[in-house]
Amino acid sequence: MKKIRLIIITLVIIFNSAVLIADDFNDWKIKFKKRAINEGVSKSTVDSLIDNTKFLSDVIKYDRYQPEFYEDTKTYISKRTSNKKVKLGKIILNKESHIINKVSSEYKVDKNLLLALMGIETNFGNYLGKMDIISSLATLSFDQRRSEFFSKELITLLRLVDENIINPSTLFGSWAGAFGNFQFMPSTIKNHAIDYNNDGSIDLKNIEDSFASAANYLNNLGWNDNIPCFYKIDLNENIPEKYLNTSAKNIKNERKVKFFKKYIKKSSFLDNYDNLSSAIVTPDAEIVENANKLKPAYIIFDNYKLILKWNRSLRFSLAVCTLKNSFENET
């Protein structure tokens, strides 16, 4: 009887919590609709898209348990840069070589980088996400962790629909509100996406629009094919801790490569890069319990920092550049 009573009490608590969240979420929708209309989105668009949004509890779970928060660097990179993924990338390149080579040349962005980003973001379009993006963004806007960021993204998306740039029927993607082959957030769509095939709308699940938009974004960020992304290094024990970056939020204490060489074992392989701006990252120190503060370590360059603007994660940037190098080694 005690077990049955406990189960009943637990179910009642869960039910009541769900009711409270639903009520609070409906109150949030009323306030958000007023804000969106005040910021210039038409009432018809706001009503049609926000009225049907739902609070998605799974989105909150995903937000709190991202791989970047708990996987060590070796595990994170190896999962995303397998030989299988390289083979899939080669298949995409062979199939879509005309458009990939064209936009790579036009926007001066390495085709292998484009493939790497698509491979890690959506496994070359095989995992685009099935979440209702409007509801995902609404849930994250309602949540308090990064409410203002996601509120702005949601309003931007409503504007894109309002201006007939994006078809609302296509808005299914990741739990975080990202969309298409390269997982663009609404603000990225607004600032960098292109209707490359001139069919009157931007479709980021389309090969032409998505590759051109990704290349345009990277070009706008300042990608430079002539400099490396990073090198893995072995550090000497005497390196001051202030030079070790453990977070992607703020890369600090940048110096020219020649300054750091005295702290790097067998550093002669860096001789050609002496005057490049660089920094040191040790990505495991912040998330792995009892991690060696000097291993793994990487010397990073400007291109690496540009990938951080795409996704602010030290491991994501490492994985993208690792996969890019794997594609280069296959050609």
Rounded distance, CA 93 to CA 114, Å?
10
Biggest CA–CA distance in the chain, Å, is 76
Which tens digits make up the pLDDT trace of 215-263? Answer: 999 999 999 999 999 999 999 999 999 999 998 988 999 999 999 999 9
Structure tokens at 72: 């060590």
Domains in the chain, start-ordered, CATH in brackets? 2-65+129-179 (1.10.8.350), 230-300 (no CATH)
Query: For position 15, what pLDDT does the model report?
Result: 39
Rounded distance, CA 143 to CA 152, Å?
13
Q: Which residues pair with 256 in a beta bridge?
A: 277
Rounded distance, CA 133 to CA 111, Å?
29
Rounded distance, CA 254 to CA 180, Å?
34
Rounded distance, CA 320 to CA 326, Å?
10
Rounded distance, CA 45 to CA 68, Å?
35
Which amino acid would we find at residue 61?
K
Q: Which residues pair with 48 in a beta bridge?
A: none
Residue 262 CB burial class (10 angstroms; 0-12, 13-18, ≥19): exposed
Rounded distance, CA 267 to CA 235, Å?
10
Residue 184, number of CB atoms within 10 A of its CB: 25
- What pTM was computed for the model? 0.87
Structure tokens at 268: 């002669």
Which tens digits make up the pLDDT trace of 70-81? Answer: 788 999 999 999
Which tens digits make up the pLDDT trace of 51-69? Answer: 999 999 999 988 887 666 6
Rounded distance, CA 316 to CA 81, Å?
11
Which tens digits make up the pLDDT trace of 180-191? Answer: 999 999 999 999
Rounded distance, CA 29 to CA 142, Å?
8
Which tens digits make up the pLDDT trace of 7-38? Answer: 444 333 333 334 447 689 999 999 999 999 99
Strand runs labelled E in 33-156: 131-132
Instruction: Say how many CA atoms lie within 13 Å of 15 toward its Cβ.
Output: 6
Beta-carbon contacts of residue 141 (< 8 Å; ≥ 6 apart)? 28, 32, 147, 150, 151, 154
Beta-carbon contacts of residue 168 (< 8 Å; ≥ 6 apart)? 48, 49, 134, 161
